[in-house]
Structure 1
Amino acid sequence: MSSLTPNSAESFVGEKKRLRIAVFNRTFSTTGGGAERYSIALVEQLASRHDIHVFAQEIAHNWPGVAYHRVSMPMRKPRWVNQLWFATCTWWSTRSGFDVVHSHENTWHGDVQTVHVLPVKYTLFRELWGWRKVFRWIKVVASPRLLAYLALEHLRFKFRPNRKIVVTSESLWKIVDATYPDCEGMISVVTPGISPPLLPLTQLRKKRARSLLGLPKDKYCVLFVANDYRKKGLKTLLAALSKCPTGFILAVVGNLTEMPAFNEQVKVLNLASRVFFLGSLKNVAPAYESADCLAHPTLEDTFAMVVLEAMSYGLPVVVSSAEYCGVAGLLQDGENALILDDPLDPFKLQRALEQLQNQPLLSEKLSKGATAFASCYQWSRLALKQEELYMDVYEATNAVKNQQ
């Protein structure tokens, strides 16, 4: 990571050529999820230095100097057809006139390809050998959906001298490198970042935040932030909460479309008065300000931007190990986080949550460690790394043109 300070970064970037950049993201909204917030943050950081054009099907964002282009969506489902449509439309619109094309989606034509999720090829074929692998290929060949995703992904990772593959964590880098070894020299790591909140958090701010969100003022509040409740471990968290004392409550932030499936579990566990589904929040700051800790027992996360955001507010975090969550590979258990070796074990999660409530010294230690860790991952610095990749692509493209 660059050691430049934000002030030196501004003077450094000011000498660079102003580029015309196209950015692809089907949903360009802060409520979309971690990948969407990642792309939005970089756009905001670099918009004053470059001419940025955002191509998206859903846009809920407005930033000075950014040009927005809405891509049509004849059908939302099947998703793979819409993915092909989006890839084709953006290719047609950006064939010329741009110095760099940056895709956060599974498309074939981005000069910079930022990968936020595990490769489709990896998820389909990992740990499969012999006849099991043969049968999986038969399933793939019989599925237009899987064939479309694999074809797009193959073209996305295809070697080009002026292409950069960006991954969000070291653990994802290893997986991409093993799955598509031909793109090894193109891979760079640019982790998610944070914009530092106003610190320290006072009891008055916490009280106001809880009042705003309708949360009890005298309970120990565990925060869970995700759009995919199932993959991010809400089932285990609810089971753990049911074993905690009644003084514990849970605030769930994220897409409410998944709420009905988990409401039944809430009722069965008799947690109706202790679980608060807050929905998608355009501004998540009050949720972080109102919480006493963050629980993220995820089953699959290439990084987990929400963990970094919570840490920037000084929240103690309980998070799955690096086997399940990319950011955990950067954390130290007991120093700046509590790390779960098994995110499916509600008893271990329960014990971790009760530790945080019952051991103020541990909680304070983790809070200070979290703030210190998050301070090293500010968007103002990470944007420099992204811009350097843009400049590398621009120079490589010109070199290729000069050779022709």
Structure 2
Amino acid sequence: MTALAADQAPTPRRLRIAVLNRQFSGTGGGAERYSIALVEQLAAQHDIHVFAQHIDHVWPGVTYHQVSAPLTRPRWLNQLWFATATWWATRKGFDVVHSHENTWHGHVQTVHVLPIKYNLLQGVQGARLALRWLNIITSPRLLVYLALERSRFAVRQPRALVLTSQTLVAQVLQTYPACQAALSVITPGVERVVGAASAAEQAAARARLGLPLEGFGILFVGNDYRKKGLTSLIQALAQLPRSCFVAVVGNPAQTAHFKVQAQSAGVAAQVFFLGSLADVGVAYQAADCLAHPTLEDTFAMVVLEAMAHGLPVVVSAARYCGIAALLTDEVNALVLADPQNAWALSTALSRLQQEGALRQQLSQAALAFAQNHQWSALAQRQAQIYADLADHRQPDTGRS
């Protein structure tokens, strides 16, 4: 393209985008942080409107719409309410509606978790399958979730289904094979590669969080402690030197149960429950490594975020954790074949504690990996999906 042609290239059209996510807060899980990151990256490029029931976020140029929550329990009824309320609010006046929730509407559907139908029916046969279907048809909760999901994956034009991990593709296609043409993958990213903390920065971060200033700090980040493997980590900690400790970041709802586990394992004084943090960055600075022995994660943003801070990571294999499909054991991570094997986890953590050369190698490789997974590039792939969909939609001059 000549310089003149480049000068004459049309400016991308500014679109009016509705983003649907019930919880729009940085203290939420990976799905929430994913949607927030896209909004922040694209707010200057497009007119972004966020529809959520809980909003704890402020960003220049973003318009926020509080969606009512007359019934937060049962959750399935609230999900149906949110889907209906946001459909009504966004049915006119938007070029693209982007849903991160289980809704029947939305030109872009970003899928963060395994399909409910897959979890319920995959591999179930014979009498067990009949009983499972009996359970489904007698459960309003399951019927609502499955009906919403079926409509979400329905083949409509124009519609894009974005998966947050390559490992999700096979499970989605096993469950909803007709949607293949609409699928694409946009993994999570990081805003920037922060780099490893200096000794002074680590000490300051530990003091701020009330963590031991000395010792080997293992970080655990996750809102569902059970699913993310905190039980295995507590068992592994019991096999490590007393100078090792675990900092737990995430929703504190399950803290009491796991304090009992830590007490039973004899490591209560080595486990620090920090609750949800508005800025998880300080926890990454305070740690020496991240342990993520998750039992189920379609990607695991926390692993990528830790790597952007130069932390060596111990992570479950790809069958449990999507990001592991992109990692190489002993090169840029230590990968656990079985996250419930506490001995294997303790062995990996012991190596990181004792082998400075291994820590340094994994830290440098982690930073290189994170460098290739930044939101600035990933968000533009999402913006292109918006543009393609808007080009194929019928003009809508109404404004809601």
TM range (shorter): over 0.9
Q: Deviations over 1:24-79 (max 9, x none)?
A: 00000000111000000000000001000000000000000000000000111100
Change (3 A) 1:270 1:167: same
Aligned to 1:22: 18
Correspondence 1:163-174 to 2 at 5 A: 163-174=159-170
Q: Deviations over 1:235-276 (max 9, x none)?
A: 010000011110100000001111011111111112121110
Q: Does 1:182 pair with 2:178?
A: yes
2:275: which partner in 1? 279
Aligned pairs for 1:217-228 within 5 A: 217-228=213-224
Residue 288 (structure 1) aligns with: 284
Match of 1:319 among 312, 315, 321: 315
**Separation in 1, partners of 2:266, 2:376:** 45
Residue 198 of structure 1 and its aligned partner are, at CA, apart by 3.5
Give distance in 2, aligned partners of 1:93 and 1:334: 50
Report the Cα offset of residue 13 of structure 1: 11
Q: 1-side partners of 2:10 and 2:176: how far apart?
A: 36
Q: Does 1:157 align with 2:153?
A: yes
Letter in 2 for 1:16: P
Note if contact 1:27-1:58 (Cα within 8 Å) is conserved in structure 2. Answer: yes
Q: CA deviation at 1:130?
A: 2.2
Separation (CA, whole Å) in 2 of partners of 1:337 and 1:198? 18
2:377 paired with 1:370: no
Task: Name 1:338's counterpart in structure 2.
Answer: 334
C-alpha contact (below 8 Å) 2:292/2:314 kept by paired residues: yes
Question: Residue 385 of structure 2 aligns to which amino acid in structure 1?
Answer: L
Q: Secondary structure at the match of 1:15?
A: coil
Structure 2 gap ranges (5+): 1-6
Match for residue 5 of structure 1?
A: none
Q: 86, 90, 96: which one pairs with 1:90?
A: 86
1:4-403 mapped onto 2 (5 Å cutoff): 15-398=11-394
Identity between Structure 1 and Structure 2 (%):
56
Q: Which amino acid aligns with 1:261?
A: H
Match of 2:3 in 1: none
Distance between the aligned counterparts of 2:240 and 2:160, measured in 1? 47
2:269 aligned counterpart, secondary structure: coil
Kept after mapping to 2: 8 A contact 1:14/1:49: no
Does structure 2 conserve the Cα–Cα contact (< 8 Å) formed by 1:164 and 1:186?
yes
The Cα of 1:15 is off from its aligned counterpart by 2.1
TM-score after normalising by structure 2: 0.96
Could you state the TM-score of these two structures normalised by the residue count of structure 1? 0.95
> What do residues 106-145 of structure 1 show as CA deviations (whole Å, max 9, x unaligned)?
0000100000011000000011122221211111000000
Moved more, 270-279 or 304-313: 270-279
Q: Flag as ranges the 4+ runs of structure 1 deviating above 4 A.
A: 11-14
Q: Which segment is superposed worse, 391-400 or 267-276? A: 391-400
- Report the secondary structure of 2:238's partner residue: helix
Q: For structure 1, which segment, 12-21 or 368-377, has the greater mean C-alpha deviation from structure 2 after superposition?
A: 12-21
Deviation per CA, 1:176-212: give whole Å up to 9, x if none: 1111001000001000000114434211111110110
Q: 1:323 to 1:14 in 2, by over 3 A?
A: farther
Note the alpha carbon deviations across 1:94-117, whole angstroms, 9 max, x for none.
110000000000000010000001
| Residue type of the alignment partner of 1:285 | G
**Following the alignment from structure 2 to structure 1, what is the Cα–Cα distance between the partners of residues 9 and 298?**
29
Aligned pair count reads 391
CA deviations over 1:222-244 (Å, ceiling 9, x no partner): 00000000000000100000111
Matched AA of 2:367: T
CA gap 1:210/1:382 in 2 versus in 1, 3 angstroms: same
Structure-1 separation of matches of 2:8 and 2:344: 48
Residues 298-325 of structure 1: per-residue CA shift (max 9 Å, x gap): 0000000000000000100000000100
